[in-house]
Amino acid sequence: MADVIFVALTIAIFVVFGLPPDKTVLITASRHGDHVRIHVIDRGPGLPPEAHDHVFQPFQRLGDRDNHSGVGLGLALSRGLTEAMGGTLVPEETPGGGLTMTVTLPVSSRSVPA
């Protein structure tokens, strides 16, 4: 479960730093059988559907003009970590505007120490 939290927080951090100061990010999580689904939802400018796969390429910043806020590795790393844990990371349009990143991960069968 710590891996799931790490991935969700990593994505949220990258989303938050890309938003104007007056915007918020909502994170929801739910279990669906043998998978956990985490949504990181923002109300920022969103992405055109044709850019959804492109944002996961390393060093992509998609028109970001501030070259001091990162190097464009956050989503590439997030997807790589998610896939290494047997999951998926998919961008979706947020109804009403913005972008939702959906992380789906299998539930671990190993026990977690108390």
Residue 114 in any domain: the answer is: no
Which 3-state string (H, E, C) describes 9-64?
A: HHHHHHHHHCCCCCCCEEEEEEEECCEEEEEEEECCCCCCHHHCCHHHCCCCCCCC
pLDDT per residue as tens digits for the range 14-68: 555 566 667 777 888 899 999 999 898 888 777 788 877 777 777 766 555 555 5
Residue 16 in any domain: the answer is: yes
Residue 17 in any domain: the answer is: yes
Global pTM? 0.69
- For residue 35, what pLDDT is reported? 92
Residue 113 in any domain: the answer is: no
- For residue 20, what pLDDT is reported? 62
For the chain, the domain total comes to 1
Residue 43 in any domain: the answer is: yes
Mean of the per-residue pLDDT values of the chain: 76
CATH of residue 64's domain is 3.30.565.10
Range of the domain at 8: 2-106
Residue 7 in any domain: the answer is: yes
